[in-house]
Structure 1
Amino acid sequence: MKRKLFCELSPLTYAISERKCEMVRTVKNLFEAGNFAKTRSDQKLEYSIYKHNSLIRRRLGNVDMHLQENKAVNLSLAAPKINMLLIRPGETFSFWYLVGSLSEKNGYKEGLTIFSDHPSSGIGGGMCQMTNLIHWMVLHSEMEITEHHHHDQIDLFPDFNRTIPFGTGTSIMYNYLDYRFKNTTDITYQLVIYTTDEYLCGELRANKRQEHKYHIWAENVFFSQKNGIVYRNGEVYRDKIDRRTGEHVEKKLIRKNHARVCYDTSGLEIKAV
């Protein structure tokens, strides 16, 4: 039998481990904060690099829609902490450095979270949707992603009006599982993030044009079954294209999916492998 980790022994040991991770990251941030992006501008930068809107109240399996309503509140509180942020050359974006702790005292409500391999709830739930949006836009830029966590190859919800490839999401946990990227270019970028009644809206802008544009797409997508378990498979690629000539510069594999499906699979077309 596999020996349990300390954090798996009980809710208390999990809480102790979580607190330890938070303290370690807090100490590290003391040495790194000088490089974090923190300056905002009242004006939008001249060039729009990429835009995307994400529906806030999505039907996700049997998830209580009340958690989605609370998520809308949580996103509306966090968005202004990032909106109009400049990421200048050499600076690193840190989601948790900007948003901070999610507490009831600060107005956050119980929203949807992911714990292990199943949906759960917690104060401030829903922040993954914001880092998903930011990550998707950053994938269309020249910047370098330096910290990115996934939900460990699990497919939690059936597709509902999916507009971006499966596997391009993020997993975060205050403050030790962060989403970070570094501006390794000579361009100053800007994040525009806000909410409406229906959408979390995002735009990545810059003070000059990029040399390249990017296209992210999936291929070889199918469901398979092994030992009674259904998996979602596929590869996600990023095409790099010269903006002026339209010449294809690079095709890069950025994610290979083999994710265990955690919902009713009776309506899926499963491929024999």
Structure 2
Amino acid sequence: MSRKSFSEINLLTYQMAYQKNVLKRRIKWFTERRIIARRFEKETLPFKIYEHTSLIRRHLGDVDMQLQDNKAINLSLVKPKIDGVVILPGQKFSFWYLVGKCTGSKGFKEGLVIKNGEASKGIGGGMCQFTNLIHWLVLHSPLTILEHHHHNGLDLFPDFGRQVPFGTGTSIAYNYIDYQFVNNTRQSFQLKIELNSEYIIGALYSDLPVENSYHVVEENCFFSKKDQNFYRNNEVYRIINNKKTGNLLSKELIVKSHSKIVYDEKYIPKELIKEDCI
């Protein structure tokens, strides 16, 4: 039996470890406050770099749709904390720095969250869809990702037919499991967010055009079975081309997944199962 970490001993030690991590992050924010983006502009920068639309209410296996409705409320509360933020050259973006803690007193509802590798519910649940959207925009730009967490090793929901490849999602928890990127370019970038009853729409703008084009592709996607367990496998690459010449500049492996599915196998497309693969 593996030895438990300090935070796993009991509820008290968990809370102590949690508060320690929150404090460490706040200290780091304080020391970096001059380089963290927090300026907002109503006017949109002139050049659209990339845009993506994400469906808010998705059917994820047997997940309660009320949690999806609550997520829509939570996303609407976060929108004004992100929409219009400008990231100047040399600045970094921190999701939790801008959003703050999601509490019931601020109007946040119970939404879907992941705890210990399992689907659960909690106040402010569903925020990962916001960071998923931002991450997807950043992947299509010259911005540099600083902090990105993911539910490695587990495929939690049957969500086939998705536009964004499996493995490119994000995992966040206030405040020490954050999503951050830095602007190491010589131009400014701006995040713009729109919400309607069905979709959250994100766009990344800049004061200058970018020299390269960015594409994210999925390859070698299949399901394998071992010891009565099914696993989801894929590889996700980011391809960068020069816009003027069309020349390939790089093909970078972003993630290679071999993730155990934790939902009913009835949701697995049979044509994608390779029984002999491990």
Give your verdict on TM over 0.5.
yes
Match of 1:208 in 2: 208
Task: Map residues 104-253 of structure 1 onto 2, 5 A cutoff.
Answer: 104-253=104-253
| Structure 1 match to 2:100 | 100
Amino acid at match of 1:179: Y
Question: Where does residue 8 of structure 2 map in the other structure?
Answer: 8
Q: Helix, strand or coil: the match of 1:34?
A: coil
Amino acid at match of 2:195: T
Offset of residue 32 of structure 1: 1.0
Q: Number of aligned residue pairs: give it.
A: 273
Verify the 8 A CA contact 2:216 2:237 in the aligned structure 1: yes
1:17 positional shift:
1.6
Could you say what secondary structure the match of 1:35 adopts? coil
Tell me the secondary structure at the aligned position of residue 33 of structure 1: coil
After alignment, is 160-169 or 182-191 more displaced? 160-169
Q: What displacement does 1:160 show?
A: 4.5
Distance 2:18 2:101 in 1: 14
Deviation at 1:172, TM superposition (A): 0.5
CA RMSD of aligned residues (A): 1.1
Q: Deviations over 1:11-42 (max 9, x none)?
A: 33222221221111111111011110011111
Is the 2:41–2:85 contact (alpha carbons within 8 Å) kept by the matching residues of 1?
Answer: yes
Between the aligned partners of 1:267 and 1:197, the Cα distance in structure 2 is 27
- In structure 1, what is the equivalent of residue 254 of structure 2? 254
Shift of 1:107: 0.8
Deviation at 1:267, TM superposition (A): 4.8
Give unpaired runs (5+ residues) of structure 1: none
Q: Paired residue for 2:65?
A: 65
Compute the displacement of 1:127 (Å).
0.5
Q: Quick one: which amino acid aligns to residue 67 of structure 2?
A: L
Preserved contact between residue 233 and residue 258 of structure 2 (Cα < 8 Å): yes
Unaligned runs of 5+ in 2: none
Quick one: percent identity of the two aligned structures?
Answer: 51
Is the contact made by 1:58 and 1:160 (CA closer than 8 Å) also made in structure 2? Answer: no
**Partner Cα distance (1:267, 1:213) in 2:** 35
TM-score, normalised by the number of residues in structure 1: 0.97
Q: Using the alignment, how far apart are the partners of 2:19 and 2:184 within structure 1?
A: 32
Letter paired with 2:252: K
What letter matches 1:250 in structure 2? Answer: S
Residue 28 of structure 2 corresponds to: 28
Q: Is the 8 A contact 2:158 2:267 kept in 1?
A: no
Deviation at 1:8, TM superposition (A): 1.5
